[in-house]
Chain A
């Protein structure tokens, strides 16, 4: 018996069909498990093991290798601030300090309510738009310390169902790495990447 909802189960079947060997579906299914529970629970990993036909220990071994599989309770909004070389040169450490201060969450931790987690990230590929930030992996380029504070206040007050990169860039962003062209109309409702084939993308209600 699967612990997953009917729609998640049919999604899992579609994902498995995309690969010549079942085991390749481990990472997509881990994202599916995160979307189901909000973060990666032990039960979620055990469920993935059953779908793929390997042991829970093998799944945990894979999950523990990658930073994006959050095996601890993570906030509805995961704020990841890049502090690698290009962003550091443009002041990312001050932006991170502002975000930590405004949210009351030191990097690597989650607030008591389970609303916001803060982490510093290694290069997220937006160096031309330093300082770069992601909320649930939705990108904001050209973030400043003041805009970082505004972002945190907005997350706390507006509590959007899903966050979307284009919307947040408009509200809080600055210099971009390049012109983005057409906006995307989906968003991320939890600390995992929003990608339709994985069932992890949510239509942005706004």
Chain B
């Protein structure tokens, strides 16, 4: 099955040199950035708004609308969020390594649209190679005069700084990222008043956009709004990147059209489950997303609306597939442990709640579970996110805490018998998740 490629086309057509400026320019690169210099802010913002582009970092908020909210104070800043850390997600890494100029052209257009003269790309600290590749690309673009004083021979100045993080997932949250970039602890800020578009970096208006979002920008201008929208499915315009991992025969990043079904993704694109074992469940949009199961969700189309109505989200585009040898308690423990480890500790429900959820899951998995533990898991979860609803209610500054509740509700709703069997039998009924090479 072949699908139209947009942001991964160059790396597919030119696998050995898609990251160089020579190849980028030979395939139409930087034409849109150059043209943007002569355009007005309104023109650029309107085009992106009409394109329907939704942010690809996880929140799926309209990019054009975000830009239109930028407060009038100046200087304004642009921060590209390359802190990709949601478990299961590795798409931005590929976009940075294999086609950095595509993203940089998006940065230039976005900067001009938002009257920004200093942009930052914040890359997670564990991505030194993508950062090196990006810095090489930035250096090439500076030499060409696409960054620096008077870009493309115009009067417009634009500086770009690549910044490495320090290994904290929470810095993917935009206000935490801003704190981190200011040289502070990466703790999320309260919204309001600290909406980045109003009070962001150095308390000035700031746009924070994801790497994949930036990579889409040049294409919107190159192919035009109508063609871009036509690539998508209703409100979900353009293509989307998914990172497929876990128990699938062909893990990897795939650029896909919205609207294909989960069955097509897992069985056609991903080649199905190894050893023809049964599909048990999958995480449809990164570790924060409630899980799907084959009985209810396999033939749902992959769109923001359908996924949301079914009680989950496309989030960061990470799909983690689990087969029938997977213990649900062990899988949930691993996801909850992540949030417990990454909690910044500001808010009690998250700091204490995620720690307790992790400990309770671990003792259930170890056969030390108590009859009350199933209720206790739900009770602690309810303290973090009242009512266990979707979308989750928040008792905390940011959504990290409520994200840890997703695996709990997923296993208690769909696999309650398996959880209870751990407690009544005093051991994991699947012993240990089998290892597949």
Q: B218 within 8 Å of A by Cβ?
A: no
A197 — which chain B residues lie within 8 A by C-beta?
A: 135, 162
B15 — which chain A residues lie within 8 A by C-beta?
A: 179, 181
Given known A-B contacts A66-B168, A184-B132, A130 and B88 have beta carbons under 8 A apart: no
User: How many residues of B sit at the interface, in one of the four size bands?
Assistant: 35 or more
Q: Tell whether, in the assembled complex, residue B169 and residue A122 are in contact, meaning their CB atoms are under 8 Å apart.
A: yes
B94 — which chain A residues lie within 8 A by C-beta?
A: 177-178
B124 — which chain A residues lie within 8 A by C-beta?
A: 125
Q: Tell whether, in the assembled complex, residue A86 and residue B320 are in contact, meaning their CB atoms are under 8 Å apart.
A: yes
Instruction: Choose among B125, B251, B344 the residue that contacts A127 (Cβ–Cβ < 8 A).
Output: B251
- The interface of chain A, by Cβ under 8 A from chain B, is 18-21, 23-28, 30-31, 52, 54, 61-62, 65-69, 80, 83-86, 88-91, 94, 121-130, 134, 137-139, 144, 165, 175, 177-182, 184, 186, 188, 193-198, 201
Q: Tell whether, in the assembled complex, residue B186 and residue A66 are in contact, meaning their CB atoms are under 8 Å apart.
A: yes
In the assembled complex, 10 residue pairs joining A and B whose CB atoms fall closer than 8 Å, in A order, are: A23-B184, A24-B182, A67-B166, A85-B283, A91-B437, A123-B85, A123-B86, A123-B88, A127-B251, A196-B132
Q: B131 within 8 Å of A by Cβ?
A: yes
CA distance A83 to B93 in the complex (A): 19
Which of the segments B24-32, B106-114, B150-158, B240-248 contacts the partner chain? B240-248
- 8 residue pairs, one from A and one from B, having the closest CB atoms: A66-B166, A26-B183, A91-B435, A127-B245, A68-B167, A23-B183, A193-B128, A123-B87
Given known A-B contacts A62-B183, A122-B169, A181-B97, A128 and B252 have beta carbons under 8 A apart: yes
Given known A-B contacts A24-B181, A128-B251, A123 and B437 have beta carbons under 8 A apart: no
Please indicate which of the listed interface residues B127, B169, B251 has the most CB atoms of chain A within 10 Å of its own CB. Answer: B251
Q: Tell whether, in the assembled complex, residue A94 and residue B435 are in contact, meaning their CB atoms are under 8 Å apart.
A: yes
Given known A-B contacts A20-B202, A177-B251, A178-B98, A127 and B166 have beta carbons under 8 A apart: no
Q: B411 within 8 Å of A by Cβ?
A: no
Q: B253 within 8 Å of A by Cβ?
A: yes
Q: B370 within 8 Å of A by Cβ?
A: no
Q: B430 within 8 Å of A by Cβ?
A: no
Given known A-B contacts A88-B433, A125-B93, A181 and B252 have beta carbons under 8 A apart: no
Instruction: Choose among B11, B253, B435 the residue that contacts A177 (Cβ–Cβ < 8 A).
Output: B253
A30 — which chain B residues lie within 8 A by C-beta?
A: 166
Which of the segments B56-64, B189-197, B330-338 contacts the partner chain? B330-338
Q: Tell whether, in the assembled complex, residue A85 and residue B331 are in contact, meaning their CB atoms are under 8 Å apart.
A: yes
Instruction: Choose among B162, B165, B335 the residue that contacts A66 (Cβ–Cβ < 8 A).
Output: B165
Q: B382 within 8 Å of A by Cβ?
A: no
Given known A-B contacts A85-B338, A181-B19, A126 and B331 have beta carbons under 8 A apart: no
Q: Tell whether, in the assembled complex, residue A184 and residue B129 are in contact, meaning their CB atoms are under 8 Å apart.
A: yes
CA distance A177 to B90 in the complex (A): 8
Instruction: Choose among B17, B19, B128, B341 the residue that contacts A188 (Cβ–Cβ < 8 A).
Output: B128
Q: B16 within 8 Å of A by Cβ?
A: yes
Given known A-B contacts A19-B161, A27-B163, A91-B435, A181 and B98 have beta carbons under 8 A apart: yes
CA distance A84 to B92 in the complex (A): 18
CB distance from B244 to the nearest CB of A (A): 7
Q: Tell whether, in the assembled complex, residue A193 and residue B125 are in contact, meaning their CB atoms are under 8 Å apart.
A: yes
A27 — which chain B residues lie within 8 A by C-beta?
A: 163-166, 180, 183
B344 — which chain A residues lie within 8 A by C-beta?
A: 65
Q: Which residues from 8 to 61 on chain B have a C-beta closer than 8 Å to any C-beta of chain A?
A: 11, 15-19
Q: Which residues from 123 to 154 on chain B have a C-beta closer than 8 Å to any C-beta of chain A?
A: 124-129, 131-133, 135
Q: For residue A145, which residue of chain B has the nearest CB?
A: B435
CA distance A139 to B128 in the complex (A): 9
Q: For residue A94, which residue of chain B has the nearest CB?
A: B435
Q: B318 within 8 Å of A by Cβ?
A: yes
CB distance from B55 to the nearest CB of A (A): 19
CA distance A193 to B162 in the complex (A): 14
CA distance A125 to B85 in the complex (A): 6
Q: Tell whether, in the assembled complex, residue A62 and residue B185 are in contact, meaning their CB atoms are under 8 Å apart.
A: yes
Q: Tell whether, in the assembled complex, residue A67 and residue B87 are in contact, meaning their CB atoms are under 8 Å apart.
A: no
